[in-house]
Structure 1
Amino acid sequence: MHFVFGGAFNGKRKWIKKQYDNQITAWYSAYENPIKVPTLVKGDQYIVIEGIERYIKELIDSGKTVEEVCCYFNEQLQAWRAEDLLANIIVIGTEIGKGIVPLNQNDRSWRDACGYVYQMLVAEAETVDRIWYGISNRIKEDIKE
């Protein structure tokens, strides 16, 4: 899995399109489609899931606790691992906190859930890049031998 994160409107989508050129066969965006983590099909070259923070926000807004959201994403990661899909997935997340604590409890829960889910994604990902103003900073790269 490749996890790409950065600030809003900092060029994450453009950077991924440039990096993966014509290898992306499916692009799921929480900004354009109903909020739902897609069912993935093995065999696609690369599958992009964009706006993971929006998926998390929808779960928090529906009344799920931070713990329930984390369990949901942990189960999703396990399913992708079991189906041998992780190497084909690119997840894009927007940094939503930068250390600022929201006054609203629901927004704090969203920020906390994003932090925990992003930690899970980073732990599972082979590659992690932070995009800031269109410039990438490789944070993690596990090279398979």
Structure 2
Amino acid sequence: MALFDAWINTSYDPIVGNQQANKCFWDKVTDVYNEQKPKGTFRRNMKMLRSHFELTDKDIKLFCGIYKHEAENYQSGASGADILIAALRVFKSNTKKDFIHADVWQSVKELDRWASGVQSSTCSSSKRTKHTASGQNSYSEGGEGNTS
């Protein structure tokens, strides 16, 4: 959670914002994280934090997409808890692992980076198909198996 807090604080800084060079941005995230790191944890370097962020970010985006899909397709009157349980079940079915970042997801799910999520293969998605000899492509909705 502390890593995502550091990322959000650095990314949404009204003075600097997210228009920073990649290394400069991650240097700042590392500094913020190490200043606010949880008690009993050791200092981490930029490579460690970035690697952990990227792996966790991938799962959170995937879960956001699954949750959004479940919320849109769940029966009316379903509670948020019902949708969450269904989304957790789908995540585990798709990835063969439990979603362990619910605390981070609760904090970031409404932010632009995560709000749209990444569609899982169980959600409808666009398929690109070639329709003309000149090579022009068209897109159609629906189709399983695209993990865009």
TM-score range normalised by the length of the shorter chain: under 0.3
Structure number, greater radius of gyration: 2
Higher relative contact order (CA 8 A, sep 6+): 1
Structure with the bigger percentage of strand: 1
Higher helix share: 2
| TM-score, length of structure 1 as denominator length | 0.26
